[in-house]
Amino acid sequence: MQYRPLGRTGLSVSVLSFGASSLGGAFRDVNEAEGIRTVHETLDHGVNFIDVSPFYGLTKAETVLGKALHGVARERYYLATKVGRYGNASFDFSADRVTRSVDESLQRLGVDYLDLIQTHDIEFGDLQQVIDETLPALHQLKQIGKVRHVGITGLPMKVFTSVIGKTLPGMVESILSYCRYELNDTSLEAILPAMKERGIGVISAAPTGMGLLTERGTPDWHPAPAKVRALCRQAAEHCRKRGFDIVELAIQFSIAHPDIATTMIGSASPENMRRNIEYASRPLDPEKLREVQAILAPIHDHNWPSGRPENCDPLVGGESLFPSS
């Protein structure tokens, strides 16, 4: 396993990390014992960064992860969770709520401190409140040792630049972006130089696009437009006919960028995580990459709206969900 620095946090994180949303049943019903074995298997193979949230499974993921980490030496892993999102349409970025949320997460996870606390999907909130209220509250928790570092997460690229551009250096120590650095969408690349210049660590999640780049395909709730789904299915079928799994290519492509500290993938299956880690240890095949990117070229950087209209990126390759004024 390779490791990279997460910005200026001092954390050296595995290039492949574990997204624990899977423990909350985001993609399928999960057997708790199997989920716990998956966490142990993942740690045993060199992954040292785990991300979770109270939103995943409505606290189930944190609860199962806490059971999995019981008795595991604290120095073996870095632990991140989030505040602000508590249901599909339940958001609260107030100082009081995020402060209580950290205490609740610490209890469920069974730890004394978090290595990283992150605001969850800030595009659904008032960005000015995140700047003026949420981040200062989290930094107060940093001062008393409950958290070590503070970051923000979201889907639209503009939320990162909007918040970071209005905060003092050090207020945002990391960003977590998902579905924006993968075979069909590399939008994240545009802001990487600015993040590197500011010493902000970059976490990229969902290298398979939350199921887009898999043979199984997307769950029913997936927001991608029909054209994106169709061409991703075509790419996955091409890989199958060529004798390899598109997930392998997706992981290898995503971890290859040196300015992305870690790429997060989740599964509640020990076998799947062993396979993902094995994929990450192999070199990227340029010929396979060219073939798949050619199939996906018509939908490159196509996206979908997420959050409040004013926080969304300009829509590429789809019909807006918001009526024009």
- Look up the CATH number of the domain holding residue 163: 3.20.20.100
**Per-residue pLDDT, 320:** 46
pLDDT at 210: 94
Cβ–Cβ under 8 Å, residues 247 and 12: no
Q: What is the pLDDT of residues 316-325, one digit of tens each?
A: 986 544 433 3
Can you tell me the distance from the alpha carbon of 84 to that of 101, in angstroms, rounded to the nearest whole number? Answer: 8
Rounded Cα distance between 188 and 178, Å, is 9
Task: Name the nearest CA neighbour of 51 among 75, 21, 26.
Answer: 21
- Residue 321: the pLDDT is 42
Question: Quick one: which of 120, 175, 115, 121 has its CA closest to 149?
Answer: 115
Mark 158-186 as b/e (b = at least 16 C-beta within 10 Å).
bbbebbbeebeeebbbbbbbbbbbbbbbb
Residue 236 covered by a domain: no
AA letter at 197: E
Q: For residue 4, tell me if it sits in a domain.
A: no
Within-domain flag for 104: yes
Residue 144 tokens, joined:
């008393």
- Stretches where the chain sits below pLDDT 70 are 26-27, 318-325
Block residue for tokens 């339940």: 90
Is the CB of residue 229 less than 8 Å from the CB of residue 218?
Answer: yes
Say if CB 268 and CB 22 are below 8 A apart.
yes
Structure confidence by residue, pLDDT tens digits, 268-312 = 999 999 999 999 999 999 999 999 999 999 999 999 999 999 999
* Model confidence, pTM: 0.95
pLDDT of the residue at 29: 80
Residue 205 lies in a domain: yes
* Separation of CA 32 from chain center: 22
pLDDT attached to residue 193: 97
Q: Whole domain around residue 163: which residue ranges?
A: 11-210+246-285
What letter would DSSP give residue 99? Answer: H
Q: Which residues are catalytic?
A: 56
Using alpha carbons, select from 228, 215, 266, 308 the residue that is nearest to residue 22: 266
Considering the domain boundaries, does residue 256 fall inside one?
yes
Split into its structural domains, the chain has a count of: 1
In a domain, 250, yes or no: yes
Name the token pair of 130: 């995140």
Closest C-alpha among 22, 7, 15 to residue 266: 22
300 is a domain residue: no
The per-residue pLDDT for 325 is 31
| End-to-end C-alpha distance for the chain, whole angstroms | 51
Give the 3-state secondary structure of residue 311.
Answer: helix
Both tokens of residue 13? 């994180």
CB 66 within 8 A of CB 110: yes
Decide if 189 is inside a domain.
yes
pLDDT of residue 319: 54
Tell me, what's the pLDDT at 219? 84
- What is the secondary structure of 252-301 as a DSSP string? HHHHT-TT--EEEE--S-HHHHHHHHHHHTSPP-HHHHHHHHHHHGGGTT
